[in-house]
Structure formats: C-alpha cells, structure tokens
Amino acid sequence: MEKRDLAAGPQLNRRRFIGGLVGGGTALAGVTSALSLISLSGGGTAAAATATTALTIPPLLSPTTTDGVDVYTLDMQTGTHQVISGVTSSSAGFNGSYLGPTIKVANGDSVRMDVTNNLGADTTVHWHGAHVPAKVDGGPQVAFASGETWSPAFTINQEAATLWYHPHALGTTAKQVSQGLAGMLIVDDDSDTSAALPSEYGVDDIPIILQCLASSAAGDVKYDVTGYRTSGLVFPVLVNGVNADSTTFTFAATKRRIRLRFLNASLSDIITIQRSDGATLTQVATEQGYLTSATEVSTIRLVAGSRAEVVIDAADAPTIQAVITTGWIAGGSGTYPILSITDNSSDTPADLPSTLNTITRYDTSGFTARTITLGQSGATMLINGVAGTTEAAMEANMIMTTVGAKEIWTIKNSTQLEHSFHLHDVPFQVISINGTAASGVDLGWKDTVEVIGTGTVVIAMEFTDYADDTYMYMLHCHLAQHEDEGMMAGLMVTAS
C-alpha cells in the first residue's frame, strides 16, 4: 500500500484545529485561537476524492438465546487500526480492534449484554438512547475493571430508533471512544412504518458511522487538551471505521429503496449530511424514533452523539457528502464525498406510508421547570456551576425527580463554546431553540441537541418508568472532552 506523505499539506491537514474545544480562560483561549490560525493556513476544503472502494459495513452481532433472553457478547479489547491509511494506530474495539458489531434488537425483547473488559483500564458501556433502568444504563457508577465481565439485563422498551453504545467511565470517555470503542444499536418494532421501511441489515438498511479524529501524523490519536495542543496534527475522517480522506465509498444497491442510519460518533465535530447534486434527502427519523412523516431536507446537521435516518432512491444514484465543521468556530472545514450509491435493483418499492408516526406534542403548561446552565471556569466545564468529574460531585449536583414527573428544561449555554446536550433515560421534545419554536424535523423525538455558544434550547420530557434511589442517569455535553472535563451531572429518578 502506498504510504502517503503525511506532511503534505492541504489535502491531509484539511481541517482546522479543533479550536475552542478545550475552552478555558483567557490564556488558554489565546493558545487555541493561535493554533486555529496556524492550522488554518494548512486547512481548508478537502481535495476531491481520488479513489473508490466498497463501503465497509460493521457485522451484525448474533445473540445466543437462553430461556427467552437474547445474550449479546461483547469483548472490549485493544489492538491496532489504520485511522490514517498506511499508518498504524493503537486502537480498541468491541469483538475486534476497532468499532463494534451492530446490535439489532426489537421492542419487547429481553436482552443481556455480556461485556468483558480486556482494555487494561476501567470502563463501562452506555446504551446511548436506550430507555432502561439506571442500574443497567452504563453510567460511571457501574464502571468495571479490566478482566471483569459486566452483564446488564433489560427489556427493550421503546419505539424503533437508531441508538449506539460506547464507554462512559469518569474522565476516560473521550480517550476510549476515540480509540474506536463505539457501535450501533438498532431498535426495531412491529409498527406499520417499520414494516414498510427497508430493514434488511447490510442489504437495504445501512449504518453510516462517522468519526472525525485528531491524530499525530504517526497515528497517535489525540483526545484531550494536551493532545490538541501538539503541533503537526492531522484530522482523519472515518466512515464505518475506514479512512475517508481521499476515498469515496461505493454501495451497489440491490434494492431500490435504501435506508441510511447516520451516527456522528465524533468527539466534537459537527457533521452535516447532504447530497452532492443539491437535491433533498428524505429524512424519516431523528434520534428517538420516526418523524410524523417523511420530510424533505436539504441538509442534516449532526452534533456529536446524534443520529438521523434517511431513505434514498437508488435510481437517483446520489453521492452523499459529509461537511465537517469543528468545535465552536464557525466556518467551512471540508466537504467529503463519502458515499456513492449505484442502482443494481430491479424492484419497485411501494410508496412510503404518508404517516410514519404519531407524536403528541407536550402541553408544557403544568410541567415542572428547571434551568440547566452549561458553564465553564477556565478549562473546567460545569453544569449548574459544578464540575461533574467525581461521583461525589455528581451526586451533590444531582437532578432529583420522580417517576411520572413531566418537566420542561431550559438549557442555557453561558459559554461561547458549542455544546451537544444529551439526556439519558427518556426521549425529549425540543420546544424552542434560541427563542424560536421548534419546527420541521426538530419536532421529532430526540436525546441529543445542539446548543450553540450563548444559546438556549428548551426541551420537555416525561420520566416514565424505572425508579431507583441508588443509581443515577446522566445529563451531559456529548463533546467528550467537555464531559470528561466536568460538563456532566447526575439525574436520579425515584419512586413518586
């Protein structure tokens, strides 16, 4: 394999330094903006892709079934992987050296996840977007040591959605996720919409896991303030774990209608999905379920941790682009043609159902109101003034609610930085964004939402099910460094 010249400039260093990600006071801000300017000279827009290769699709994990329980076995292990083509990086994955298999479950399934930690470090695994009891949610309280197996068992209790799984231990989430510990978790259900949409994994139902990393040219993946301050960084973009910097992946569709499930598994970057020909995408789902109807959108903006589903007509033979913008500094960083679909189909799919879902919008008049302030003090990131870097701090700063509570939260960003607000346990509705009532696809159920610098997002949710007075859920920024640096609080849902 040809080894590329990693010092070669624009095409490889095509993205800006992730300026501002580390936040910080005046001195630190000075450092990051200086670095932004330096790398800007080598940054800019991606070169046109020069190669094509067939899209890699993560394997589907088959369970073993015992007494009606589907048992999924995940082995967290270290290894090596080429996040930059031709360069070996230390990596980690589930059942392999990078990323993890896709897990597909259905509403009502009884499942058990047998997760073995062979990382040589403490870890835990969170089922991002799953509505499960706090004890099995995989937050920092249930971290387990290398050599141990954690076996949470739960019942799938939610509508069809694209979820994911990743580590969530205190202070190590950014590191472990950046090493490759992430996988897709698909929830299916018996709705008419699920029956009507493509659902044959790897055939017409395709995961697209997007990652933007920062690395030394030698392949040392960076994930924290110290790492981001080093010089000579490159910023690989990966699709399903494979470097996409100068490659467009191809998918020859054998079915005319293709469903794509996009996941932004990056530590911080914002990824906008669009078609290269400027035509619209047909979005059918947000993070927590189907939209009320298929919605034509020109772009889909995914902040770190968020997902969206679209259906594609293969006959259009579209090329899907990912537009990468970094951190909180607005401005173009690169447009990558990531996926080119060709049509090998001979079927004629039925029309999409005109109604995909019923979403009853909350009347929030009687809801309990809270304000959640995202703040910072120097390089320490805060929620409601407290850095959630220890369990004690998170407990002291815990949001306490009860099963059945209906709440309206004002998420107030008191920083200049971009944040990606994520709530565990239950889906939420976005009520307003920076004072404007939610509309369009923002009316879909979500679990992760962008909060721009100094912006305010109002969300509403109901805490159905699962009382616990020992284990907490989390609410946090999904920019993984911000989470590790303290922008995380506990949420305890006790009996009413």
CB of 462 to ligand C2O, least distance (A): 19
446 belongs to the binding site for ligand C2O (CB under 6 A): no
Residue 218's contacts (CB-CB under 8 Å, 6 or more residues apart) are: 6, 87
Among 81, 422, 446, 482, binds ligand C2O (CB under 6 A): 422
476 belongs to the binding site for ligand C2O (CB under 6 A): yes
Contact partner, 422, from ligand C2O, Cu ion, none, Cβ < 5-8 Å per class: ligand C2O
Report how far apart, in Å, the C-alpha atoms of 89 and of each of 84, 312, 404 are: 8, 34, 47
Distance CA 215, CA 478 (A): 20
**Helix, strand, coil distribution of the chain in percent, nearest 5:** 10, 45, 45
Nearest-CA neighbor of 480 among 266, 208, 264, 262? Answer: 266
Contact partner, 419, from Cu ion, ligand C2O, none, Cβ < 5-8 Å per class: Cu ion
CB of 61 to ligand C2O, least distance (A): 19
CB of 383 to ligand C2O, least distance (A): 13
Residue 419's contacts (CB-CB under 8 Å, 6 or more residues apart) are: 374, 413, 450, 451, 477, 479, 482, 487
Which CB sits closer to ligand C2O, 138 or 227? Answer: 138
477 belongs to the binding site for Cu ion (CB under 5 A): yes
CB of 137 to Cu ion, least distance (A): 20
* 176 phi and psi angles, rounded to 5 deg: -70, -40
Among 16, 256, 259, 424, binds ligand C2O (CB under 6 A): 424
Contacts of ligand C2O in 165-194 (CB under 6 A): 166, 168
Contact partner, 474, from ligand C2O, Cu ion, none, Cβ < 5-8 Å per class: ligand C2O
Distance CA 355, CA 294 (A): 8
100 belongs to the binding site for ligand C2O (CB under 6 A): no
Q: Across the strands, what pairs with 300? A: 273
Which CB sits closer to Cu ion, 309 or 447? Answer: 447
Contact partner, 126, from ligand C2O, Cu ion, none, Cβ < 5-8 Å per class: ligand C2O
Contacts of ligand C2O in 103-122 (CB under 6 A): none
482 belongs to the binding site for ligand C2O (CB under 6 A): no
Q: CB of 361 within 8 A of CB of 270?
A: no
Place of tokens 């890699």: 56
Residue 467's contacts (CB-CB under 8 Å, 6 or more residues apart) are: 402, 403, 493, 494, 495, 496
Contact partner, 15, from ligand C2O, Cu ion, none, Cβ < 5-8 Å per class: none
Burial class (CB in 10 A: 0-12, 13-18, 19+), 419: buried
* 223 phi and psi angles, rounded to 5 deg: -150, 0
Size of the site for ligand C2O (CB under 6 A): 10
Residue 448's contacts (CB-CB under 8 Å, 6 or more residues apart) are: 287, 303, 304, 305, 306, 307, 420, 421, 422, 478
Of 108-116, 284-292, 316-324, 471-479, which segment contacts ligand C2O by CB under 6 A? 471-479
Contacts of ligand C2O in 300-329 (CB under 6 A): 305
14 belongs to the binding site for Cu ion (CB under 5 A): no
Contacts of ligand C2O in 148-167 (CB under 6 A): 166
Please spell the DSSP secondary structure of 285-306, one letter per residue. EETTEEEEEEEEES-EEE-TT-
126 belongs to the binding site for ligand C2O (CB under 6 A): yes
| Interacting residues toward Cu ion by CB under 5 A | 419, 477, 479, 482
| Interacting residues toward ligand C2O by CB under 6 A | 126, 128, 166, 168, 305, 422, 424, 474, 476, 478
